Amino acid sequence: MTAANSTHIQSFWRQTGEKRTYDKLNENLEVDVLVAGAGIAGIASAYLLAEKGFKVALLEAREIMSGTTGFTTAKLTAQHNLIYDELINRYGQDMAKLYYQANMEGIALARELAEKHNIDADLEEQDAFVFTQDAKNRDKVKKEAEAYEKLGIEGAFIENLPLNIDVEAAVMMRNQAQFHPVKFLNGLLKELETKGAKIFEHSKLMEAEIDGEKVLGKTDAGHTVTCRHLVQATHLPIDEREENFYSANLNPESSYALAVKTDKEFPDGVYINADLPKRTIRKMKADGEDYILVGGESHPTGDGLSSEKRYKELKTYADELHGNKEVAYQWSSHDYISADRIPFIGQLHPDEQGIYTVTGFGKWGLASALTGGKLLSDIISGKEDNPYQELFSPQREIKEMEHVEPKEENDENYPDSSSAASRPEDLQENQGAVMKVGGEDVGAYKDKGGSVHLLDLTCTHLGCGVQWNDGDCTWDCPCHGSRFGATGEVIEGPAVEDLKKVNE
């Protein structure tokens, strides 16, 4: 049904930021704190802990910033679409205010660190806007503006935007920002190195075991990192318990983005809509060229519908919005949304000291990961007066969200992602499909050299069936968001093992 996709996924941030590389861990190690996962949550936590004098090791399963952080939109903002009216209704005004403050402190910390370490991270102040083009959503936007007033958030309800689109209504939040996450985090990595932290790539944490006052972290190469504290900044934690709290309370959602070259001036501001399909917009620069980023097309990860079509929809939108000189980069990623839209940052399991999680950012983790890193560094150093401990506690009572934001469900306008081919030999190059081989459903992929790879569709995390993603050429799991390359290698956890090969 869909043609083979020849476009390689390339994130603007990873392509236009310096690539720092680190060795694999090849020995046992003893440190004060082991941080697993080198996205913004892991790097910020490691940096803030090292700054407090802890001996830190940072372990990344693949490459530094190869997870969601390298494939983001990079707005640094406390404006998380429409959330404050909902937070007030659910948790009250004080808690909603605290949530705003936590994110504003994250933005302030980014500014402070960029300045302190002279990091050229393209960090710019911007106002942030949520808009609707649907009369049905006007009231929600109005209520959000009223919530800003109640909370003392600087902003306004407006009815026009400086964009080439007609809107019904919009709510603006002042003093927000945008940045280049790879440039920013490279700056923190350099500081980490200066502070003597040990950083490793291609070193996956497989197990964590409590041994008296110590935690033993075991890697995929069989080495042990002995530490007093372990921070799992790995999205879903690696040691989920039988009650599956995290898997049950964190839903993976995917989104797509294009970086489009432009030779026309684009207005200031960062923008997102409150409608479906989701659209998010900002501008940026690289090597003297101007770009606009157009993103959106959110959906539950692994829904099996055509992501190639999703990229096309974004391209059409970019054309209509601003004209389109060239789509220079396209990429997708996913993040975990907690059941109450508030991240989980703190002790991983209620009865197990020394192991912590920082996850559930709901596609708004860039400011809150910095606040989260600060919170963890306070908890680990025994400082008990961090104002955000209760707000983010994984042990809090969760009040389910009311879905103020429209939720994307499977959409009949999108074709199935799998090819119509019913035999492996009928696939085009770089195309995949679920098909019957020898009476069994298997995942078949024909690579660019024409070789066919047959895979067991059983996700190696907890056994759900993976789905072909035609835009990115990956196998995605609808249950907890594991993603596998076209030939079955894990590219995003919680799965740690590759898909099994099937012999014809």
Ligand X SMILES: Cc1cc2nc3c(=O)[nH]c(=O)nc-3n(C[C@H](O)[C@H](O)[C@H](O)COP(=O)(O)OP(=O)(O)OC[C@H]3O[C@@H](n4cnc5c(N)ncnc54)[C@H](O)[C@@H]3O)c2cc1C
CB under 6 A: which stretch of 175-183, 316-324, 476-484, 496-504 binds ligand FES? Answer: 476-484
Is the Cβ–Cβ distance between 2 and 306 less than 8 Å? yes
CB under 6 A: which stretch of 115-123, 396-404, 436-444, 474-482 binds ligand FES? Answer: 474-482
Tell me the number of residues near ligand FES by CB under 6 A. 12
Q: Which two tokens stand for residue 449?
A: 């050299």
Residue 455 or 495: which CB sits closer to ligand FES?
495
What is the smallest separation between the CB atom of 480 and ligand FES, expressed in angstroms? 3
CB under 6 A: which stretch of 41-49, 221-229, 282-290, 480-488 binds ligand FES? Answer: 480-488
Q: Containing H/E element for 129? A: strand 124-132
Q: Which of 37, 48, 480, 499 binds ligand FES (CB under 6 A)?
A: 480
Is the Cβ–Cβ distance between 306 and 218 less than 8 Å? no
Binding site partner of 324, from ligand X, ligand FES, none, Cβ cut-off 5-8 A by kind: none
Q: Which amino acid is at 233?
A: A
Q: Which of 255, 307, 418, 482 binds ligand FES (CB under 6 A)?
A: 482
Report the C-alpha gap between 298 and 407 in whole angstroms. Answer: 9
Residue 215 or 479: which CB sits closer to ligand FES?
479
Binding site partner of 366, from ligand FES, ligand X, none, Cβ cut-off 5-8 A by kind: ligand X
Q: How many CB atoms lie within 10 A of CB 456?
A: 17
Per CB under 6 A, does 459 bind ligand FES?
A: yes
Those residues whose C-beta lies under 8 Å from the C-beta of residue 155, and which sit 6 or more positions away, are 145, 148, 171, 172, 173, 174
Which of 127, 39, 30, 140 minimizes the C-alpha distance to 368?
39
| Segments of 179-267 assigned E as strands | 198-200, 205-211, 214-219, 224-227, 229-232, 250-262
Per CB under 6 A, does 483 bind ligand FES?
A: no
Residue 69 or 460: which CB sits closer to ligand FES?
460
Give the rounded distance of the alpha carbon of 176 from its chain centre. 19
Per CB under 6 A, does 461 bind ligand FES?
A: yes
Per CB under 6 A, does 455 bind ligand FES?
A: no
Binding site partner of 269, from ligand FES, ligand X, none, Cβ cut-off 5-8 A by kind: none
Binding site partner of 421, from ligand FES, ligand X, none, Cβ cut-off 5-8 A by kind: none
**Phi, then psi, of 463 in degrees rounded to 5:** 95, 10
Binding site partner of 208, from ligand X, ligand FES, none, Cβ cut-off 5-8 A by kind: none
What is the smallest separation between the CB atom of 278 and ligand FES, expressed in angstroms? 23
DSSP 295-323: EEEEEETT--B-HHHHHHHHHHHHHHHH-
Q: Which two tokens stand for residue 357?
A: 């999680």
Binding site partner of 464, from ligand X, ligand FES, none, Cβ cut-off 5-8 A by kind: ligand FES
Per CB under 6 A, does 42 bind ligand FES?
A: no
Site string for ligand FES, 414-453 (x = CB under 6 A): ----------------------------------------
Per CB under 6 A, does 464 bind ligand FES?
A: yes
CA distances to 189, 191, 193, 301, 340 from 44, rounded to whole Å, are 9, 11, 13, 26, 24
Is the Cβ–Cβ distance between 369 and 40 less than 8 Å? yes
Binding site partner of 217, from ligand FES, ligand X, none, Cβ cut-off 5-8 A by kind: none
Binding site partner of 462, from ligand X, ligand FES, none, Cβ cut-off 5-8 A by kind: ligand FES
CB under 6 A: which stretch of 54-62, 137-145, 173-181, 475-483 binds ligand FES? Answer: 475-483
* Residue reference for tokens 């895979």: 455
Report the C-alpha gap between 406 and 318 in whole angstroms. Answer: 22
Binding site partner of 461, from ligand X, ligand FES, none, Cβ cut-off 5-8 A by kind: ligand FES
Per CB under 6 A, does 495 bind ligand FES?
A: yes
Per CB under 6 A, does 491 bind ligand FES?
A: no
277 cis-preceded (ω within 30 degrees of 0): yes
Per CB under 6 A, does 479 bind ligand FES?
A: yes
Residues that bind ligand X (CB under 6 A): 36-42, 59-62, 66-69, 72-75, 204-205, 233-235, 238, 255, 257, 295, 333-335, 359, 361, 363-367, 369, 493
Binding site partner of 67, from ligand FES, ligand X, none, Cβ cut-off 5-8 A by kind: ligand X
Is the Cβ–Cβ distance between 262 and 292 less than 8 Å? yes
What is the smallest separation between the CB atom of 479 and ligand FES, expressed in angstroms? 4
What is the smallest separation between the CB atom of 463 and ligand FES, expressed in angstroms? 6
Binding site partner of 9, from ligand FES, ligand X, none, Cβ cut-off 5-8 A by kind: none
SS3 assignment, position 355: strand
Buried b (16+ CB within 10 A) or exposed e, 191-222: bbeebebbbbbbbbbbebeeeeeebbbebbee
Footprint on residues 59-118 left by ligand FES (CB under 6 A): none
Is the Cβ–Cβ distance between 442 and 457 less than 8 Å? yes
**Phi, then psi, of 222 in degrees rounded to 5:** 85, 10
Binding site partner of 477, from ligand X, ligand FES, none, Cβ cut-off 5-8 A by kind: ligand FES
Per CB under 6 A, does 477 bind ligand FES?
A: yes
Angle at 338 between CA 335 and CA 344, to 5 degrees: 95
* Residue reference for tokens 């923190």: 188
For ligand FES, the binding residues (CB under 6 A) are: 459, 461-464, 477, 479-482, 494-495
